[in-house]
Structure 1
Amino acid sequence: MAFSIPTISLSKPKQETVQALRDASLTSGFFQLTDIEPHVSRELILQMFDETRKFFQLPSSEKEKVTKRNHLVGGYEGFRFYDLAKTGDGGKKGEVDDEDGGWNEGFAIAPEWGTNCFPQANPSDNKMEGIDAFDPATFEATCKAYFHAVQELGRHLLSLIAQGLGIEQDFFEGYLDHQNSFCRLTHYYRADTEGAPTPTKVEIGAAPHTDWGALTLLVQDEIGGLQVYDRALNQWHDVPPHPLGTGIVCNIGDLLARWTNNKYRSTLHRVLAPKRGVHRYSIPFFNPGNPSFPIKTIYTCLAEGETPQFDTITAGEYITSKHMESTGAKKV
């Protein structure tokens, strides 16, 4: 099949949707979902983006009060060059690794059973001091509602993907039980400094990488910048944004690729930085899964006489290994 990033409507008949998801997973590993209600409402997405903008407009001194303590919990992450795959793979020519602090900052939302670090209200007026528009209670409630809605959409999608693989509809339930899922509210920005030279190379907001879990669900604003790498043609394809609130970008991650003996594609992607002076927001949801759940090649993905490409590994072992690689603690 040719490389494509299809748009798939969840309002279509079930079997048509199952086949469309399978076709996309076998080719680019990327697809865009529309008609996502009743799973995630347009109103909730718009509210989440409004709260996201308000949070990132807070002074650094306020945001840093909720800095996350390690990579497994919720909280604020300051501006940095976002690179999950320091070893790279294709398409990295022309990147600018910003020594000045990077293009994006984030706020991670962990599961409710995990550890979150939400801003706290000022006792005097129930607002952050000096920030009239930001209400910590509304921010926290919106984050939790959005997290739950997208997590359940991911559960629904994996049940459809299971059917496309010819396995039990609830095959992934054990993986999803007590999963280490998280959202990352993301803000891309670099000030347009007067007199600064015009960049001569592509500026990168997030370096080329694959995602580590089973499935990623991303809502992006209308600025754009997400690109997917086509190895066959050695070129990048834009993922054009839908109007905010009407679509979600989904992609296959490494664990689902391992499960399917690499038949489903965990594809390299990156984010181009917005023009200087322009704010871009996006919210990816990742589901690294239950750390103790074993990732073993699915039997329907092995032809007669074919052997698995990967050893069995738990989700936690794989995610930990990738995190160590990304930080340079483990050499590859």
Structure 2
Amino acid sequence: MGSIEEPAPTVKIPIIDVSGFLAGDAKATKACAEELKEACENQGFLQVVGHCVSAETQRKFLSAIARFFALPLADKEKVSQSNSPCYRGYERIGGQKLDELSDDATPDQKEGFSMRPERPLGKFLAGPNQWPDEDLVPGFQEAYWEYFNAVHSLSKAMFQLMALSLGLEKTYFDAFAADPDGICLCRAHHYPPTPPDAAGRTRGVGAHTDFGALTLLLQDTVGGLEVLHKKTKTWHSVTPVEGAYVCNIGDLMQRWTNNRYQSTMHRVISPLSQTDRYSCAFFNDGALDMMIEAIPTCVPAGEKPAYEPLKVEKHIVDRYVQSYGAGGTYIEQKA
């Protein structure tokens, strides 16, 4: 495996308490919107506390995914995403390469498990989920759905706060974030520890920006997430805050806001220890049929938008084909 430079010193990522906003407090809501605006304009990353996902829901979920990833490979491969026409289920180590900075980077050193809302087969990414046998991982599916529903609610709330931060009506993004036909992805990750005799620290996930509009990441206390500081172009560790969600904007939101809010390059460095790392990313990417066009108030008077209108489906398909193809995984493009 390729080695990677030592991590840079920790940079302080803004921590925003959204409890007042969720409770409907007008003063707290205004303050939260201002904090979010500053975080998105300056860095594109923040951590969210005071949210609506209970510690018990998080605990049950992290326990369930740890038990799944501890299964023998043969059992995990029974629900391999290669068996799924909509790319759900287990993802082997090295199946994807997200690194956008180096063609020589190794594939991502993580394994994953993906699920989305249940849908009939048809459009790209739409279809049924795969689940391991209940006797192999008791309570796995129940814990996953409980977690999915809770974090989806938080995601919809964060889109409303995002709208307020841009001076828009609170409901501006509702059709995107709460669409019943949307393609929200809830993907759990396991990063095996780097062996002591390894040549260097390895990329759990290579440097990349997220495909969609807004990501909510739950991580354990092991650490490894690093963010590229925009002004200094240096990598900085994101200190885990127990129970918090790392929130960042993705490429679709960058297009939507006409570069006012820019997606941020980030990566995960595998832990150099005997400790496994677990995390889960929730991507609310909206409906495939939606067209993303620059918000009029984000386009200066007399200027044209920086981007042409883009259909969500085309953007997501292109990014999936690129990132999975780089890891040797074939992604079928729907006609």
Moved more, 166-175 or 233-242: 166-175
2:67 is the counterpart of 1:54: yes
Structure 2 vs 1, CA of residues 154 and 71 (structure 1 numbering), >3 Å: closer, same or farther? Answer: farther
Offset, 1:112: 2.8
Offset, 1:81: 6.1
Contact 1:219 1:249 in 2 (8 A): yes
1:226 aligned partner: 225
> RMSD between aligned alpha carbons?
2.2
Where 1:79 maps in the other structure, the secondary structure is coil
- Partner AA of 1:211 in structure 2: D
2:169 aligned partner: 168
2:123 aligned partner: none
Structure 2 vs 1, CA of residues 119 and 151 (structure 1 numbering), >3 Å: closer, same or farther? Answer: same
1:120 aligned partner: 133
Contact 1:96 1:203 in 2 (8 A): no
1:74 to 81, 88, 93: 88
- Partner AA of 2:88 in structure 1: G
Contact 1:73 1:115 in 2 (8 A): no
Q: Distance in 2 between matches of 1:197 and 1:219?
A: 29
Structure 2 vs 1, CA of residues 54 and 228 (structure 1 numbering), >3 Å: closer, same or farther? Answer: same
Q: Distance in 1 between matches of 2:44 and 2:203?
A: 22
Contact 2:227 2:267 in 1 (8 A): yes
Offset, 1:70: 4.9
Percent same amino acid at aligned positions?
A: 35
1:25 to 36, 40, 64: 40
Offset, 1:237: 1.3
Q: Distance in 2 between matches of 1:145 and 1:33?
A: 20
Structure 2 vs 1, CA of residues 82 and 275 (structure 1 numbering), >3 Å: closer, same or farther? Answer: farther
1:11 aligned partner: 19
Contact 2:203 2:270 in 1 (8 A): yes
Where 2:92 maps in the other structure, the secondary structure is strand
2:179 is the counterpart of 1:180: no
Where 2:19 maps in the other structure, the secondary structure is coil
Structure 2 vs 1, CA of residues 307 and 71 (structure 1 numbering), >3 Å: closer, same or farther? Answer: farther
Offset, 1:117: 0.2
Deviation sequence 1:83-126 (CA, Å, 0-9, x none): 224xx23xx59x8626xxx52111101113341000123xxxxx
Kindly report structure 1 stretches of 4+ aligned residues shifted beyond 6 Å.
none
Q: Distance in 1 between matches of 2:141 and 2:63?
A: 13
Q: Distance in 1 between matches of 2:160 and 2:117?
A: 21
Structure 2 vs 1, CA of residues 15 and 184 (structure 1 numbering), >3 Å: closer, same or farther? Answer: same
Deviation sequence 1:194-238 (CA, Å, 0-9, x none): xx7442x44111000000111000000000000010232120111
Moved more, 65-74 or 304-313: 65-74
Where 1:158 maps in the other structure, the secondary structure is helix
2:275 aligned partner: 278
Q: Distance in 1 between matches of 2:230 and 2:85?
A: 30
Contact 1:4 1:27 in 2 (8 A): no
Contact 1:4 1:28 in 2 (8 A): no
